[in-house]
């Protein structure tokens, strides 16, 4: 049986001290909408095309230095989700 290979993207959350929207629900929505095309894996996995960083507010306090030199998408709000989806579809 032939199967197209899914793209692999690492997922990293901020700690979620006081998020302005439901980060986990936002990621669930992203995963649902990309389920045929993208597999989301741990940010520690090196075999990925880039890292999706999901933060609860625009402070985006996640330390990005471990991801230097790699493709990083940062989602800080529900509005950013649509931007990320457009972006990722464009790349494909």
Judged by the rule CB under 8 A, the positions of this chain that interact with other proteins are 11-18, 23-24, 42, 61-63
Name the minimum Å distance from CB 90 to other proteins. Answer: 27
Q: How far apart are CA 62 and CA 51, in angstroms?
A: 12
Q: How far apart are CA 24 and CA 47, in angstroms?
A: 23
| Percent of the chain as helix, strand, coil, to the nearest 5 | 30, 25, 45
Name the minimum Å distance from CB 65 to other proteins. Answer: 11
Smaller CB separation from other proteins, 16 or 83: 16
Backbone angles phi, psi at 54, to 5 degrees: -115, 115
Rg (CA), the chain: 13
Smaller CB separation from other proteins, 3 or 17: 17
Name the minimum Å distance from CB 39 to other proteins. Answer: 15
Smaller CB separation from other proteins, 41 or 89: 41
């Amino acid at each position: 049986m032939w199967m197209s290979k899914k793209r692999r993207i690492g997922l990293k959350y901020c700690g979620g001290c006081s998020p302005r929207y439901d980060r986990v629900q936002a990621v669930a929505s992203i995963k649902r909408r990309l389920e045929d095309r993208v597999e989301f894996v741990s940010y520690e996995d090196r075999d990925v095309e880039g890292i999706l960083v999901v933060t609860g507010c625009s402070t985006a306090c996640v330390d990005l230095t471990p991801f230097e030199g790699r493709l990083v998408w940062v989602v800080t709000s529900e509005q950013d989700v649509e931007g990320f989806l457009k972006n990722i579809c464009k790349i494909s």
